[in-house]
Amino acid sequence: MTRVSGYRQIACPNCLSVYITPSYSSINMMAFERWSDGRTVGGLYNNGGGIRSCQCGKYYRMKDAIDMGLMMETRMIEVWDDDGSETAFDLPAFLRRQEDNQLTLIELLFKIFFITKIKERFQPFTQITEVTISKPVDRKKRLVAKEVPKDFKDCEHIPLVQWASDYEMENIINFPEKYDQEIIMAARKRYWPFLNDYYREPFKTYCKHRWLPVPRFKLSNEQKENLIALLEFYQAEDDPDWVTIGELLRELSRFEEAMAAFEKAMQRSHSAADLEKLTRATRNKIAGPIPI
């Protein structure tokens, strides 16, 4: 289950405008549909590549935002009062117990000192005897002050962080003079499935009615340019993601190279079962995204 536990205050790294963003205590990554290009449908959580837009007109990545911390407040909370059941160190009681054995105080202190010295020789720390000073009493509740995350109603005077839509990714990709390589690549990764979206419904129809021809997957110049840029980026990585490289090559209809990339992925940790659908599509020279 996706759960929100409070709201963080963040600031745009370009203009310092302040926003709030949900702080998730758990995230459900389940989705009804998953596609080979990374598109998920029906999920309860979508980070959108971590890209957000700002009123200053620029986009930024959440990891670059200035994190001002969780919005907290002090609230009085009822807790069970366990007063009386706790153990405590009672040295006078300990000393009195020793006196019952008819030792003088000087003898007792000498004995404690002597035993302590011997213990220190054989173990680094000595322990003080625990003595319960009173018996447990009936449990009752009491109020304590506690710092807790603020509810949304107490944060809503600050605007929520602004989501950037898929189609807006071109506003980042086409302006390399305004953005660094990292956010451009994050935008390209989001743009990839967006440009493929037109193909999903025809392909799902084909999956239900296999007597139909496989729908035609025709790359626009924009798609081709995006796939090649992503391919170059992934190929330059120290530890290349061969599954993604294979997928990019398959969509570019470079089927032999795609198969070689999938074989490399298989030699790594990926199981043959994971790659079965991708390699079958490659063998059948299907270039479009497929459900996985």
Q: Please state, in angstroms and as integers, the Cα–Cα distance from residue 85 to each residue in 29, 79, 81, 138, 143, following that order.
A: 44, 15, 9, 9, 18
The least CB distance from residue 58 to Zn ion, in Å, is 6
The least CB distance from residue 17 to Zn ion, in Å, is 5
The least CB distance from residue 225 to Zn ion, in Å, is 28
Based on CB atoms, which residue is closest to Zn ion, 36 or 53?
53
The least CB distance from residue 57 to Zn ion, in Å, is 8
Based on CB atoms, which residue is closest to Zn ion, 14 or 98?
14
Tokens 């949304």 correspond to what residue? 152
The two three-digit tokens of residue 275, written as one number:
């790659």
Based on CB atoms, which residue is closest to Zn ion, 54 or 275?
54
Q: Which residues bind Zn ion (CB under 5 A)?
A: 12, 14-15, 17, 54, 56
The two three-digit tokens of residue 260, written as one number:
């070689």
Based on CB atoms, which residue is closest to Zn ion, 21 or 98?
21
- The pair phi, psi for residue 161, each rounded to 5°, is -55, 145
Based on CB atoms, which residue is closest to Zn ion, 41 or 56?
56
The least CB distance from residue 184 to Zn ion, in Å, is 18
Beta strands in the chain (DSSP E): 3-11, 18-26, 33-34, 40-41, 51-53, 59-61, 66-70, 72-81, 140-149, 162-163
Inter-residue contact 231 to 244 (CB < 8 Å): no
Based on CB atoms, which residue is closest to Zn ion, 59 or 191?
59
The two three-digit tokens of residue 2, written as one number:
């996706």
End-to-end CA distance of the chain: 22
Whose CA is closest to 166, among 53, 13, 54, 64?
53
The least CB distance from residue 39 to Zn ion, in Å, is 28
The least CB distance from residue 164 to Zn ion, in Å, is 12
Quote the crossing angle between the two packed helices 221-235 and 242-251, to the nearest 10°: 160
- Bridge partners, 77 (sequence order): 144
Whose CA is closest to 53, among 213, 171, 215, 154?
171
Based on CB atoms, which residue is closest to Zn ion, 53 or 282?
53
The least CB distance from residue 55 to Zn ion, in Å, is 6
How big is the CA angle at 91 (ends 85 and 97), to the nearest 5 degrees?
A: 95
Based on CB atoms, which residue is closest to Zn ion, 55 or 284?
55
